[in-house]
């Protein structure tokens, strides 16, 4: 079975639609909501309703809701399914504005968790909700196994206590998918995810963070105090089963890391496109038939960045294709996230540099893209964590053996 990493023709329509949204909706309001931090982009409501209708009719699968692995085709042929559709559309959408994508109702990372591991009954209940993901705590950042938040079974409910920070869309969402431990003495296996709907007594949004980038997206601190959640809101099995329990929770990342990589790829391409046009206006043409050393220094720099971008793009496509074809992709998902996250930061900053004072000011969106790109190298696992995961996979080492 071979992998074709060109864009599947059947997704041309959804990619074109995402491009139109980026051009006609996201970019015109990008600077406005970057300045008006924490103000919800009301222009997104109509767009969200349109996407809901398209998803319901089967016309497209966009955003973080389209990451559920589906049954294979019996081993015959290649499949390009909802993961590929989601990543391609999110690349194009982030060519417009990363923060707007993160602000889209019902397209949150919590929706990705639900799409990955919820049962049919939970899908019916939770699919209409806008779900955020609550993992990070004040006591840890990248080590997801260090969860201190607890969930104690009491009758027909779990009682959740703890604090979560850096919750994307935590202020605006309808529900939060929160990671909590059933028994902190049992380690990773006891970590489970729960859907906690807003309005549940004991759930309090304490504050919204002020940030370097993605300012249109709200990032919240949420506290859970004796918060009672029905047993049926637990995603996956309630049993504590060695490493299997945590592995099920972590499967979400295998699906969402290519999405975040796609976001970085889209943002970096926006910067490259803008810089290429600026160079053209300055009389610097990039000649793809001549070696870089024989061209203008700025053209050579652009060629180098485009090669870096291409590597990130292809790794992202590979990880996405593997998810669609039900192949284990933890290694490839982390490789894509690591490469795309770093490339996104490097490329956007270098584009600002090449554009000079114009790139550093608010006359273009280059400086904003550079600020936005940094988060894509951090959330869903930092650069260092991705490299650690890749090393463990390549060397066949456990998390205990290689820290």
pLDDT digits (tens, 9 = 90+) for 304-316: 999 999 999 999 9
pLDDT at 326: 85
Asked, for residue 240, whether it belongs to a domain, the answer is: no
The pLDDT of residue 66 is 43
CATH code of 181's domain? 2.40.110.10
CA–CA separation, 323 and 8 (whole Å): 15
Are residue 212 and residue 283 in the same domain, yes or no? Answer: no
pLDDT value at residue 67: 45
Residue 253 pLDDT grade (very low, low, confident, very high; cuts 50, 70, 90): confident
Residue 42 counted as domain residue: yes
Strands 234-235 and 191-197 turn out to be antiparallel
Whether 44 maps to a domain, the answer reads yes
Does 368 reside within a domain?
A: yes
Q: Is 70 a known active-site residue?
A: no
203-226: pLDDT as tens digits: 999 999 999 999 999 999 999 999
In a domain, 32, yes or no: yes
Q: Are residues 262 and 353 in the same domain?
A: yes
204 and 259 together in one domain: no
Residue at which a domain ends, from 180, 208, 235: 235
Asked if residue 356 and residue 254 are part of one domain, the reply reads: yes
State whether 113 and 199 are in the same domain: no
How does pLDDT run across 11-51, given as a tens digit for each residue? Answer: 999 899 999 999 999 999 999 999 999 999 999 998 888 77
Q: Of 205, 235, 265, which residue constitutes the final position of a domain?
A: 235
pLDDT of the residue at 7: 81
Range of the domain at 79: 9-122
Whether 83 and 143 map to the same domain: the answer is no
Strand (E) or helix (H) holding 296 = none
220 and 261 both lie in a single domain: no
- The reported pLDDT for the residue numbered 64 is 46
Residues 191 and 135 in one domain: yes
- What distance in Å separates the CA atoms of residue 64 and residue 49, rounded to the nearest whole number? 15
Asked whether residue 88 is assigned to any structural domain, the reply reads yes
Give the up-direction half-sphere exposure of residue 390: CA atoms within 13 A in the CB hemisphere: 15
Please check whether residues 118 and 137 belong to one and the same domain: no
Mean pLDDT of 339-357: 98
258 and 391 part of one domain = yes
pLDDT classification of 286: cutoffs 50, 70, 90: very high
Residue 54 belongs to a domain with what CATH number? Answer: 1.10.540.10
Quick check: 354 pLDDT over 50? yes
Residue 149 lies in a domain: yes
Is the same domain home to 91 and 146?
Answer: no
CATH number at residue 352: 1.20.140.10
Q: Which range scores top for mean pLDDT: 79-93, 182-196, 271-285, 322-336? A: 271-285
Number of independent structural domains in the chain: 3
Q: What burial letters (b/e) apply to 295-309, b meaning 16+ CB within 10 Å?
A: bbebbbbbbebbebb
| The dihedral sign for the CA sequence 199, 204, 210, 211 | negative
Q: Is the pLDDT of residue 288 over 50?
A: yes
Split at pLDDT 50, 70, 90, the class of 247 is: low
The residues facing 194 across adjacent strands are 178, 234
How much of the chain exceeds pLDDT 70, in percent? 90
Candidate list 137, 318, 367, 380, residue with the active-site label: 380
Q: Is the pLDDT of residue 65 over 80?
A: no
Asked if residue 385 is part of any domain, the answer here is yes
- Whether residues 89 and 206 fall in one domain: no
């Amino acid at each position: 079975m071979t992998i074709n990493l060109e864009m599947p023709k059947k997704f041309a329509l959804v990619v074109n639609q995402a491009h139109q949204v980026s051009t006609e909706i996201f970019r015109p309001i990008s600077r406005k909501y970057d300045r008006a931090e924490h103000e919800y982009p009301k222009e997104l409501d109509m767009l969200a309703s349109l996407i809901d209708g398209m998803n319901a009719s089967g016309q497209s699968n966009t955003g973080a809701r389209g990451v559920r692995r589906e049954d294979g085709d019996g081993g015959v042929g290649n499949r390009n399914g909802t993961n590929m559709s989601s990543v391609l559309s999110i690349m194009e959408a982030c060519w417009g504005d990363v923060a707007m994508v993160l602000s889209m109702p019902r397209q949150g990372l919590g929706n990705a968790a639900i799409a990955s591991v919820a049962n049919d009954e939970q899908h019916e209940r939770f699919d209409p909700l806008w779900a955020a993901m609550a993992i990070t705590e004040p006591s840890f950042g990248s080590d997801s196994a260090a969860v201190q938040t607890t969930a104690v079974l009491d009758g027909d409910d779990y009682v959740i206590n703890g604090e979560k920070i850096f919750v994307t869309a935590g202020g605006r969402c309808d529900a939060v998918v929160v990671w909590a431990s059933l028994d902190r003495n049992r380690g990773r296996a006891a970590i489970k995810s729960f859907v906690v709907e807003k309005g549940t007594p004991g759930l309090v949004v304490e504050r919204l963070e002020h940030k370097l980038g993605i300012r249109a997206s709200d990032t919240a601190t949420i506290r859970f105090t004796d918060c009672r959640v029905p047993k049926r809101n637990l995603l996956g099995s309630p049993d504590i089963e060695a490493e299997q329990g945590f592995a099920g929770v972590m499967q979400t990342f295998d699906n969402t890391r290519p999405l975040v990589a796609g976001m970085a790829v889209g943002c970096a391409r926006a910067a490259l496109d803008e810089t290429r046009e600026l160079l053209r206006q300055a009389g610097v043409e990039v000649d793809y038939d001549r070696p870089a050393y024989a061209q203008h220094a700025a053209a050579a720099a652009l060629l180098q960045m485009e090669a870096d971008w291409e590597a990130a793009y292809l790794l992202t496509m590979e990880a996405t294709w593997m998810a669609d074809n039900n192949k284990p992709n933890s290694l490839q998902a982390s490789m894509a996230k690591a490469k795309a996250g770093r490339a996104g930061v490097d490329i956007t900053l270098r584009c600002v540099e090449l554009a000079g004072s114009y790139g550093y000011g608010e006359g273009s969106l280059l400086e904003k893209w550079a600020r936005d790109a940094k988060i894509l190298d951090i959330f869903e696992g930092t650069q260092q964590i991705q490299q650690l995961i890749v090393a463990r996979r390549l060397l066949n080492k456990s998390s205990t053996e290689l820290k």
